[in-house]
Copies of this chain bind each other. A is one copy, B any other.
């Protein structure tokens, strides 16, 4: 019988934002599984600060590409390695934020479900980057009858204008790589005064500001457009 696979959200950065259940699971399992990218290096750091338990660590590589075949091959390979790790006992796949919200865990979960349906899986939800940003900014995301759209930042100007007409709050994810281009689109859509950039939410080094104020924009940054239909 293979061990149990946990998908554990370790929160946005500050080890105090781990849940009690995440901490318990991390103290129980022998093996941690962490994707081998900058972002998940942070997840491993959080775990190391939160518990003294020594873990075996399985690091998974995922190529930085959009080619579907290359990605699918990488996910298949990762699934096999995770399954082999489970032969030694329970393991926790750790993800920054929440495991069900833009995380690599979803691909491994799908692979395990398809090919090894006998594996027991438990997902431990975490504080998402979205909740962390709203808290750090002291800015409610939605209340009452309001609506929220969360979209990758690659949207065009017209689409942004249309989103701003239909939703009270729009969150642009993954903005670091093309920040200047995105800032320009927001300005063209006439939404600059509604935009707040949040960098490193829920961890030390948090900063925020308007599109013009914010300097360096890192991996975990997002832009929140708020008060759109007022």
Complex CA–CA separation, A138 to B134 (angstroms): 25
Taken together, the copies of this chain in the complex come to 2
Q: For the side of the interface on A, what is the size category?
A: 35 or more
Task: Say whether A15 faces chain B, with CB atoms less than 8 Å apart.
Answer: yes
Asked if B19 contacts A125 (CB within 8 A), the reply is no
The interface residues of chain B lying within 8 Å CB-to-CB of A7 are: 135
Complex CA–CA separation, A84 to B134 (angstroms): 26
Interface string of A153-189 (1 = CB under 8 A from B): 0100000000000010000000000000000000000
Q: Knowing A101-B142, A143-B107, A202-B125, say if A131 contacts B14 (CB, 8 Å).
A: no
Task: Say whether A214 faces chain B, with CB atoms less than 8 Å apart.
Answer: no
Interface string of A95-133 (1 = CB under 8 A from B): 000111111011101000000000001011111101110
Task: Say whether A151 faces chain B, with CB atoms less than 8 Å apart.
Answer: yes
Task: Say whether A92 faces chain B, with CB atoms less than 8 Å apart.
Answer: no
Asked if A134 contacts B101 (CB within 8 A), the reply is yes
Complex CA–CA separation, A15 to B152 (angstroms): 33
Which of A20-28, A34-42, A52-60, A205-213 has 4 or more CB atoms under 8 Å from chain B?
A20-28
